[in-house]
Amino acid sequence: MWARRRALSQLEAVAERGTRLPLVVYGPEGCGKTAFFRQAFEVLRSLGYSVVLVSPLEERREERLLATSDVAGLVGGLVEAATRLPVSRLVEAALGVVARLLARRAGMVALLLDDVFQAVGLEGSSRSSRGS
C-alpha cells in the first residue's frame, strides 16, 4: 500500500509540472498495475486532466475504455465500440481520440494504456510507433 501511495504521489508531481514524454509502468502480472491505472485516472481527473483509459484485456467489456465526461463528445461511439472492437483497433482508436483532443484545444490530456503490450504484442506496438 505504501508503494502505491508513493507511485500516485509521483504521478501527481509529474502531472502538475507536465510532460510530453510517455511514462511506462511495468511489473509482473498481478502486482496491481491495473488498479494503479484506475486510481491514476481519478487522480488525473481531479487535477483537471482530460483522461482516456484503455484496458483492452479487461474482462468486463464495458470497462475496456473509460473517459472523463469532458471528452464524451470526442470519444462518442468509441466507448460503445470498445465492447466490439478488436484489441489492436481499440488502442488505435484511443490514440486517434487523443490526437483530436490535442488538435482541438489546449489543455492537459492523459492517455492511460493498460496491458497494451500483452494485447497487441511487441511487434504490433513497434509497427504503431513507426506510423505503419
Going by C-alpha positions, the residue among 97, 91, 95 that lies closest to residue 70 is 97
Torsional sign, CA 92, 120, 87, 35: negative
| Residue pLDDT, tens place only, 89-122 | 777 777 787 787 778 765 788 888 888 766 555 5
CATH code for the domain defined by 2-129: 3.40.50
The 3-state secondary structure of 39-108, one letter per residue: HHHHHHHHCCCEEEEECCCCCCHHHCEEECHHHHHHHCCHHHHCCCCCHHHHHHHHHHHHHHHHHHCCCC
Phi, psi (5° rounding) for residue 30?
Answer: 85, 5
Ordered by start, the domain boundaries in the chain are 2-129
| Residue pLDDT, tens place only, 62-85 | 787 788 888 777 776 676 666 677
Residue 11 near residue 25 (C-beta atoms within 8 A): no
| Residue pLDDT, tens place only, 9-42 | 999 999 999 887 888 888 888 889 999 999 999 9
* pLDDT at site 82: 66
Distance in angstroms (rounded) separating the CA atoms of residues 32 and 35? 5
SS3 128: helix
Distance in angstroms (rounded) separating the CA atoms of residues 50 and 73? 12
* pLDDT at site 128: 44
